[in-house]
Structure 1
């Protein structure tokens, strides 16, 4: 299948995850909000013990005194582990970038959406992107600009399935809604191959639990499901616990 067809299918399948307007209208808060403090806590935990395929594939491609571009950097969970490499971090959430800058004052931070800010972003030795691509409907320009900003290697990390797939049984329970099952990491791999990238992949378990407590899980589920926070006890009663640990995929390709 040609790149254009694969890209169109990727975009259509991502759009099928949109929350129906009738449900979204009931939401007490924005269901797609990310809590900066939760990201920051996870960053500190992962930076304290750097390990895993994504870290290893990134680290081995970095020369001494090298640089890394982190697109969708969040608070720096994927890239702060790579210090002393010089860091260029792109994210559209100013709160996330502020937390990253607090942890790494020497980092260059760029506020904006990729690839919209690609022209103002320097080329680095390694470009990484962790847990972002399922939020990218126009995937081809995203990948091509990412590759164009790496001298040595591009490294992606993503779950095998859509990151909110764990909520699918709860969507059915609370809203009678059957959620999609695609796209998957293999769909992304197909697009990358169609672009001519010689990709390699490694599947591995998530390094940590998605949530530490039932209460934290229920709070997140209520927000995602457009439920009033007062229904957290109902979520706890019916949700699988612990939340099944996701399988992650590290995907990488060398540029030269």
Structure 2
């Protein structure tokens, strides 16, 4: 298939929604509800948090790429002296700012997609990016910008495979669509190494479950709301499964 980056791009591109299905969607399946991304008052004690704290030491600044409500950045409150949130949704940035205010953390936000707004975001001691890589097709420039922005190191958190892969049986059931294999954390690690970096990789079980509401899944499947009862019934046939996550850490 060629390079690791080419393999990643091909696998990620294959996860796209066919145009004819997308055209029939009553609402966009993309985008996220900020209500689902509020950072917890007490952060989860995860390998990603431990890695970020280790890089910060006694104090330091953080840039959170794809910040959402600031889960990744605000897990580092204590040594965290200033936070920059980068996100493509303005409502997420507003949530990030509110979270920073509550925690007394000086913060700024940058609206846009990474790496296009990397220069505007500037540099920080530590750059974190949680559950964003599986939204990226062209991974090398994304990774390069993370590395260039970090003075001490980068912490990336991701699931072991595409976070929507568990919905594949429902794409087949409702659209007669067989989804190709998803990119995995091993594919991402291969691309990082291809950039001349050697990440430390820690694999662990993520306690937070995948969203399973019928309304959420119906939207993701590009179906109209009247299909929610059918989707709810179909979800009964898909038992919850453990969500294996990975923390990737590297230094510039």
TM-score band, normalised by the shorter chain? Answer: over 0.9
CA contact (8 A) 1:210 1:245 kept: no
Distance 1:83 1:49 in 2: 9
* Superposed CA offset, 1:197-224 (max 9, x none): 121111111121223xxxx521111001
CA contact (8 A) 2:207 2:243 kept: no
Residue equivalent to 2:188: 188
1:197 corresponds to 2:190: no
1:96 corresponds to 2:92: yes
SS in 1 for 2:143: helix
- Aligned-residue offset at 1:8: 2.2
Distance 2:46 2:8 in 1: 28
CA contact (8 A) 1:166 1:243 kept: no
CA contact (8 A) 1:161 1:182 kept: yes
Which 5+ residue runs of structure 1 have no aligned equivalent? none
1:74 corresponds to 2:72: no
Which 5+ residue runs of structure 2 have no aligned equivalent? none
Distance 1:19 1:198 in 2: 33
Residue equivalent to 2:109: 109
Match of 2:77 among 80, 83, 106: 83
Match of 1:52 among 41, 46, 55: 46
1:217 corresponds to 2:213: yes
1:20 corresponds to 2:14: no
CA contact (8 A) 1:68 1:79 kept: yes
CA contact (8 A) 2:165 2:182 kept: no
Residue equivalent to 1:252: 249
Residue equivalent to 2:136: 136
SS in 2 for 1:203: strand
The Cα RMSD (Å) is 1.6
Count of aligned residue pairs for this structure pair: 245
SS in 2 for 1:48: coil
- Aligned-residue offset at 1:242: 5.1
Residue equivalent to 2:159: 159
Match of 1:29 among 23, 27, 30: 27
Runs of 4+ more than 4 Å apart:
none
CA contact (8 A) 2:127 2:154 kept: yes
- Aligned-residue offset at 1:23: 1.2
Report which stretch shifted further, 90-99 or 232-241. 232-241
User: TM-score, normalised on structure 2?
Assistant: 0.92
- Aligned-residue offset at 1:241: 5.4
Distance 2:246 2:63 in 1: 19
SS in 2 for 1:67: strand
